[in-house]
Amino acid sequence: MAQTHEHGAHADHGPQGILKYIWSTDHKIIAMQYLFTGMFMAMVGGFMAYVFRMQLAFPGTSVPLYGVVSPAEYNALITNHGSIMIFWVAMPVLIAAFGNFCIPLMIGADDMVFPRINRLSYQVFLLSVLVVLASLFVPGGGFGGAWTSYPPLSANSAYNLTRLGASMWLTAVALEFVAFLLGGINFITTLMNSRAPGMKAYDIPMTPWMIVIASIVFMLSVGPLIAGAIMLLFDQNLGTGFFDPNRGGDPILWQHLFWFFGHPEVYVVLFPAIGMVIDIIATFARKKLFGYKIILYTAVATAVLSFFVWAHHQFIAGIDPRMANIFTVTTLLISVPIAEMLFVSIATLYGGSIHLTTPMLWALAFIGEFLIGGVTGIFLGASGADVYLHDTYFVLAHFHYTFFPIAIIGTFAAFTYWFPKMFGKMMDDRLGKIHFWGTVIPFNVIFIPLFVLGLGGQHRRIYNFQNFPELQHMQPLRILATGALIVMLFFQIFFFWNVIKSWISGPKAPKNPWKANTLEWTADSPPPHGNWPPDQLPKVYRGPYEYGHPDAPEGMDYWPQNLPPQNQPARG
């Protein structure tokens, strides 16, 4: 409280009481709104996964807490699981929540450049959440045409039987895009213009860099899909024929518009996760980041290449084989900068003084698990192999080996790392480690069997495998995957217990519990409105990863970005 009083003049303006939390323009409060909404949606999406995995393991039986799953409900569940986990969990948490929290704090600014647009961004996002949740309960049920929403199935209610559900799903996705365009413009402009005095481009920590690169990729890839969403909405509701081949339209056009966004979207969520993982690795290896510029340039190379790989999702959609060759080459090419980024992060560990804290465990797990996702992607990017593997569980397992490390492992790494700054309390390391192993081991037990199932020819969009006698013998693998999922969901209890326990009765967090260099650790935990007193905003004198530097002040293996050089004691 003393802190608030000290610079009370700055903290006083703005809404009071409960409005402080729902009508605030403070970037940290907006980050919390995104974070908690994203966590809630993660529980919704996780519950959906539980229900349809139960149906796959024990077809036709009543699922505890849900009941018997009908074929239409099954389709709605997988569709909304995918959409929710990508659009309403990965994006709001990785980009919006951590972007909002980290960017101003890590570049030494008191807020975003447009605080009210920031608030509007969350409000539009919240509206999209309400629309997508409501779409599950309208007559006809939720949309069941997969998160890719291919026409003609999605364009015509005579085929998908969810007239309202399909349009509401599409509207919700479009609103979500608007929210992230508003947020993205804020992030990009803030990073470009509002850095602390002295902070040059190569002094910016990786987390803000990566979130901003992700925002640019998102902004430049989502436009055609927004146009496509308008066209699809008109097809659904006005009776136009943009995607109807009988009327001069082209269903493949949607696939182009969708994947022109859909593939860069993978990198949109990957970049923030990898940026935060890199920051965590440098902090807990107590070593200067290896190859700062290499990481940055490979990220930019990945971002550029990501616009030229989309048609690898369409190898069996009837595209020209010559085009398939080109997209095979670009797709295999893009694994080069990504692999470089991951291996350079490993190089940071070499010779470091590694502290295996909970955030560090998550960060290391991210590297290991994402590598599996990346390597299996090579098989799918090669058009020859893809013809066999397309739309099998191999694709599904590959996808989850990329997105689970990004959206779940990356998020937990970031959450446990910045929790002391966000809430002013330290988390329980023992509970954190139980939660870590209880999540990462079952994750592999879920998805390795799915690779095997996919190689065995199991198609992904099947409601009941009892109808396919040749796939019957693999039922034990399906039961194993479902069992592991339930174990993993159970271990999330440890996470929530840890959060609540630490929040209420955890030890108070100092300003800089991890002895990190970046600017957010020079603010109070949690930082007040305005982050620093208005006359004491930090200045920057060096890069963010000066660990173990010989010129650092005596007795410190780190050298915060804001410490003026003259403060160092004379050496020798």
123 binding other proteins? (CB under 8 A): no
Between 104 and 432, whose beta carbon lies closer to other proteins? 104
Please tell me the count of residues contacting other proteins according to CB under 8 A.
Answer: 52
Compute the distance between CA of residue 567 and CA of residue 572 in angstroms, rounded to an integer.
Answer: 15
CA–CA gap between residue 155 and residue 162 (Å, rounded):
10
Q: Which of 222, 296, 305, 389 binds other proteins (CB under 8 A)?
A: 222
- In terms of CB distance, is 203 or 428 closer to other proteins? 203
Query: Mask of contacts with other proteins, 100-119, x by CB under 8 A?
Result: ----x----xxxxxxxx---
Please state, in angstroms and rounded to a whole number, the distance separating the CA atoms of residues 187 and 472. 51
Select from 234, 297, 343, 379 the one that contacts other proteins (CB under 8 A). Answer: 234
> Residue 91's closest CA among 276, 298, 267, 305?
267
Tell which one of 52, 74, 143, 260 touches other proteins (CB under 8 A): 260
198: tokens are 């002295």
194 binding other proteins? (CB under 8 A): yes
Maximum Cα interatomic distance, the chain, rounded to a whole number of Å: 84
Interface map 158-187 toward other proteins (x if CB under 8 A): -----------------------x--xxx-
Residue (148 or 240) nearer to other proteins, CB = 240
CB 195, min distance to other proteins, A:
5
Helix residue ranges per DSSP H, 107-250: 115-134, 157-160, 163-193, 206-237
Min separation Cβ 63 and other proteins, Å: 41
The whole-angstrom separation of Cα 396 and Cα 155 is: 24
Q: Say if CB 269 and CB 95 are below 8 A apart.
A: yes
> Which residue, 5 or 116, is less far from other proteins as judged by CB?
116
Residue 247 in contact with other proteins, rule: CB under 8 A: yes
Q: By CB under 8 A, is residue 11 in contact with other proteins? A: no
Q: Which residues neighbour 342 within 8 Å (Cβ) at sequence distance 6 or greater? A: 274, 367, 370, 371, 374
Write the Ramachandran bin of 79: left for phi over 0, alpha for psi from -120 to 50, otherwise beta: alpha
Contact 200, 107 (CB under 8 A): no
Site string for other proteins, 471-510 (x = CB under 8 A): ----------------------------------------
Give dist(CA 89, CA 34) in Å, integer.
9
Tell which one of 219, 333, 371, 448 touches other proteins (CB under 8 A): 219
* Residue pair 199/257 in contact by the 8 Å Cβ criterion: no
Q: Would you count residue 189 as binding other proteins (CB under 8 A)? A: yes
Site for other proteins, residues 529 to 548, rule: CB under 8 A: 530, 534, 537
Per CB under 8 A, does 227 bind other proteins?
Answer: yes
Q: Are the C-beta atoms of 371 and 340 separated by less than 8 Å? A: no
Could you tell me the smallest distance in angstroms from the CB atom of residue 514 to other proteins?
25
Residue 111 structure tokens: 């807020």
Least separation in angstroms between CB 204 and other proteins: 10
**Side chain identity, residue 152:** P
Binding site for other proteins (CB under 8 A): 13-14, 25, 104, 109-116, 181, 184-186, 188-190, 192-195, 199, 219-228, 230-231, 234, 238-242, 247-250, 253, 257, 260, 530, 534, 537
